[in-house]
């Protein structure tokens, strides 16, 4: 098969690495890719938000299967254009991608199918939103109602913080967006990944992300500073509850509305007292959760994604080894605030690249033979082992072998489970 993956981050490097292991993969192209992805696939300079450009590229390169990594092309309707032209695609339609693109849409779906989630309200006026927060008190959660690249969510510990977050959103920090304000949910957060072909669902793994920038879960929220899989807090009983009360009702409601969901549903959950409530949906693999899932799933990922795209999930099993994976994100100094680009990263050539240790590139480029940092989150050093301790040791061994003075990481990834 000729396979095209859209995207250029750590998620797409992990997907490419796993898919390359499957003998069905003859040619693999990733657009735009990055310096790490270039080691396992062809990279193509392509505007992944342009329906016309992606369609033309897929036709010219006789692509058999397109896998859409990030949320932005999904929200732009790239999957619709490809499907309309007869291509096999993994990733939801533009209409179904509203489960991530619109917080309001997701809350309305939850209300319609009685899926447990936080109480909420939407505002298009800053003064009304501030009044609501003042009346509700803190802690409280303020969200920009749209795609904000993993940002746009403030867990406000004081009313003043919530007011400031509201003002930021209405001042255009993330574009022209309204505000969704939610009840603060206490508990332990975890991620659950489910494939859906529009009718059937298949759970394919759990993970726990670390959103705060600093050790001990301190500092501002980020796109994710590390993750591990499986997440012990997501017991089989809780997974069954989530499938029965949240995921299957959501998929059924989407189908009832005429917008069936096909792709991966990433359910962010808050777990307390043996019960789970939905925090949010994403309609693509999380980053860095994808890195730990791909390390554990390996080459079977291509078979799973094909079954999902072809509507065959009811007859498709997922095979899990009794193992663990952990990934540590190395970020540019200053992230999630302002950070320098173009700093040189040394030591990468000597790193092992095995099924037990792999460094996935998220924000890198090749400049005159040197790998340089081009983003905030730059590398995901990933280890796998029979125990989480083994995985932890292998991941941090990679971190310690990298020569990048302008980079930093958290040293406590996996602390809840360890």
CA distance 94 to 78: 8
SS3 82: helix
pTM of the full predicted structure?
A: 0.93
Phi, psi of 390 (to 5 degrees): -60, -45
SS3 139: coil
Please identify every stretch of the chain with a pLDDT value under 50, giving residue numbers as ranges.
Answer: none
Element containing residue 201 per DSSP (H, E): strand 201-209
- Cβ(364)–Cβ(378) below 8 Å: yes
Taking alpha carbons only, the member of 281, 349, 293, 344 closest to residue 321 is 293
Taking alpha carbons only, the member of 254, 249, 247, 202 closest to residue 96 is 254
SS3 28: strand
Domains and CATH numbers, the chain: 2-92 (3.40.50.20), 125-177 (3.30.1490.20), 188-315 (3.30.470.20), 324-408 (3.90.600.10)
CA dist list (Å): 227 to 211, 212, 282, 290? 9, 12, 16, 9
Q: Is 299 exposed, middle or buried (0-12, 13-18, 19+ CB in 10 A)?
A: middle
In 210-323, DSSP assigns E strands to: 212-214, 218-221, 226-229, 262-272, 275-282
114 has which bridge partners? none
CA dist list (Å): 232 to 224, 351, 387? 19, 30, 12
Q: Is the dihedral of CA 70, 68, 1, 53 positive or negative?
A: negative
pLDDT number for residue 151: 66
Cis peptide before 336 (omega within 30 of 0): yes
CA distance 354 to 262: 31
CA dist list (Å): 240 to 175, 236, 307, 409? 38, 6, 22, 34
Any idea what DSSP says for residue 247? I
Q: Are strands 188-197 and 179-183 parallel, antiparallel or unpaired?
A: unpaired
């Amino acid at each position: 098969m000729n396979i095209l993956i859209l995207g250029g981050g750590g998620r797409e490097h992990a997907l490419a690495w796993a898919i390359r292991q499957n003998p069905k993969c003859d040619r693999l192209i990733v657009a735009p890719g990055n310096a790490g992805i270039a080691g396992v696939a062809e990279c193509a300079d392509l505007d992944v938000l342009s329906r016309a450009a992606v369609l033309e590229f897929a036709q010219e390169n006789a692509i058999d299967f397109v896998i859409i990594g990030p949320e932005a092309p999904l929200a732009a309707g790239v999957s619709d254009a490809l499907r309309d032209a007869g291509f096999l695609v993994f990733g939801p339609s533009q209409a179904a991608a509203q489960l991530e693109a619109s917080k309001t849409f997701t809350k309305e779906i939850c209300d319609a199918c009685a899926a447990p989630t936080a109480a909420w309200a939407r505002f298009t006026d800053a003064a009304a939103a501030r009044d609501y927060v003042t009346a509700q008190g803190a802690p409280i959660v303020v969200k920009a109602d749209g795609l904000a690249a993993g940002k746009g969510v403030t867990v406000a510990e004081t009313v003043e913080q919530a007011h400031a977050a509201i003002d930021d959103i209405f001042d255009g920090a993330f574009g022209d967006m309204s505000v969704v304000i939610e009840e603060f949910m206490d508990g332990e957060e975890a991620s659950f990944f489910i494939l859906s072909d529009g009718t059937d669902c298949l759970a394919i793994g759990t993970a726990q992300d670390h959103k705060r920038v600093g050790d001990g879960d301190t500092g501002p929220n980020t796109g994710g500073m590390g993750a591990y899989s499986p997440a012990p807090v997501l017991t089989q009983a809780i997974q069954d509850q989530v499938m029965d009360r949240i995921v299957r009702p959501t998929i059924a409601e989407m189908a009832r509305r005429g917008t069936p969901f096909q792709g991966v549903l990433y359910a962010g959950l808050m777990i307390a007292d043996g019960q789970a409530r939905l925090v949010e949906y994403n309609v693509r693999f999380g980053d860095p959760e994808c890195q730990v899932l791909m390390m554990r799933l390996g080459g079977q990922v291509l078979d799973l994604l094909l079954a999902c795209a072809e509507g065959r999930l009811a007859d498709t099993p997922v095979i899990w080894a009794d193992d663990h994976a952990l990934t540590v994100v190395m970020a540019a100094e200053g992230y999630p605030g302002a950070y320098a680009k173009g700093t040189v990263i040394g030591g990468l050539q000597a790193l092992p690249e095995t099924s037990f240790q792999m460094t996935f590139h998220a924000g890198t480029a090749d400049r005159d033979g040197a790998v340089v940092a081009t983003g905030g989150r730059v590398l995901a050093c990933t280890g796998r082992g029979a125990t989480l301790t083994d995985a932890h040791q292998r991941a941090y061994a990679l971190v310690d072998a990298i020569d990048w003075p302008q980079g930093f990481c958290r040293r406590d990834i996996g602390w809840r489970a360890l």
